[in-house]
Amino acid sequence: MSRILEESPNAQINKSILQRYIDLPVSENIVLATYVWIDGTGQDLRCKDRTLDFIPSGPKDLPIWNFDGSSTGQANGTNSDTYLHPVAIFKDPFTRGNNILVMCDTYKYDGTPTETNHRKTCLEAMNKCTAQEPWFGIEQEYTLLEFNGHPLGWPKNGFPGPQGPYFCGVGANKVFARDIVIAHYKACLYAGIKIAGTNAEAMPAQWEYQVGPCSGISIGDHLWMSRFLLHRISEEFGIVVTFDPKPVPGNWNGSGAHINVSTLKMRSDGGIKEIENAIQKLSNCHDRHIRAYDPKQGKDNERRLTGLNETSSINDFSYGIANRNSSIRIPRSVSDDGKGYFEDRRPSSNSDPYSVSEAIIRTICLDE
């Protein structure tokens, strides 16, 4: 009975039948709200649905809800009630109408944040530097897997041809499951997620999309909900998304979540000085940032930041103009304009954007 199915049962379901029910009329002020939260792994998302009898105008209108935290790695069975606090609302691209997706953060019975709620302290830090107007854009890389865990479209035994033709590729021998990529892009736009673009990545079955620029705390809310949509859409196709930073060991690109950062001063004339100041500050606390840049305090990134495959070594801090083998890259266009933003290439694909953006502003805006 422990045999793994080769194909997802979801891939077999005739989706046209669902449409009959999606189209059923429901009273205008009945809203289906899907509450979404980060579980005890700090990486996986959970969700559950409820009916509201009013149309909320913001997350503050929504009821606090609870769930069994002992089933998500967030509480003990004997004291399991864990609380969901709504923080951001998006439109629901699956059931449409007035229905919503609700990003939540999680609290224990005594009102303290759960171990994987990194939003609370991120927001506290963001609130201290609103005058500096920090913006963030994250490049989310990921890999598609068959239901049995094999990279999608890879030969059953052996490997595809070496990297080179796949990045930004087109054609059935170059990229796999663009349907998911386009469905996700459209769903993000519909939902109100600030998706900026997408491209096929260097390894076959690996893709990227970008979210941003988003100001302050909203980068975390938007990125987490975009990950939810990606998992949810791939679920319908019977395909699995992995955010593992090195899904295939060896000479294959890993997956990052490069974060692009600017403040009002950096975006203003002569802002390059401010970018250089920020890089100087970042150079003094490389280890602290590495700990904040993956859910295993650097252990996940050890597999990815090898100094090969367009990465820098996890042990060294480096920066450069247009250099993709450094920790920090200043885009060529920013150097030419003398203002703009910088890119921190260190965060892993499964990093928590709340932890990453918090570490950055504590270092560069709050001098902590």
| Near Mn ion in 198-237, by CB under 5 A | 208
Interaction partner, residue 341 (ligand ADP, Mn ion, none; CB < 5-8 Å by kind) = ligand ADP
Interaction partner, residue 212 (Mn ion, ligand ADP, none; CB < 5-8 Å by kind) = ligand ADP
The end-to-end CA distance of the chain, in Å, is 54
Q: In what order do the strands lie in the sheet with 65-68?
A: 45-52, 31-38, 100-107, 81-91, 65-68
From the CB of residue 117, how many other CB atoms can be counted at a distance below 10 Å?
23
Coarse DSSP helix, strand, coil percentages of the chain, rounded to the nearest 5 percent: 30, 25, 45
Interaction partner, residue 196 (Mn ion, ligand ADP, none; CB < 5-8 Å by kind) = ligand ADP
What is the contact surface with ligand ADP in residues (CB under 6 A)? Answer: 135-137, 139, 196, 210, 212-213, 258, 260-262, 267, 340-341, 343
Beta strands in 193-351 (DSSP E): 195-200, 206-215, 240-242, 257-262, 319-321, 328-330, 342-344
| Near Mn ion in 315-344, by CB under 5 A | none
Torsions phi, psi for 209 (to 5 deg):
-135, 160
Of 99 and 309, which CB lies nearer to ligand ADP in the complex structure?
309
Q: Closest approach of Cβ 2 to Mn ion, in Å?
A: 37
Interaction partner, residue 353 (ligand ADP, Mn ion, none; CB < 5-8 Å by kind) = none
For residue 40, which amino acid is it? G
**3-state secondary structure (DSSP) of residue 27:** coil
Of 208 and 294, which CB lies nearer to ligand ADP in the complex structure?
208
CA gap 299, 213 in Å, rounded:
28
Of 40 and 353, which CB lies nearer to ligand ADP in the complex structure?
353
Residue appearing with tokens 């491209």: 199
Interaction partner, residue 340 (Mn ion, ligand ADP, none; CB < 5-8 Å by kind) = ligand ADP
Which residue in 105, 139, 146, 358 binds Mn ion (CB under 5 A)?
A: 139
Q: Closest approach of Cβ 210 to Mn ion, in Å?
A: 6
Q: How many helices (H) and strands (E) does the chain have?
A: 10, 13
Interaction partner, residue 289 (Mn ion, ligand ADP, none; CB < 5-8 Å by kind) = none
Of 104 and 214, which CB lies nearer to ligand ADP in the complex structure?
214
Q: Closest approach of Cβ 203 to Mn ion, in Å?
A: 10
| Near Mn ion in 241-280, by CB under 5 A | 258
C-beta of residue 222 within 8 angstroms of C-beta of residue 214: yes
Where does this chain bind Mn ion (CB under 5 A)?
Answer: 139, 208, 258
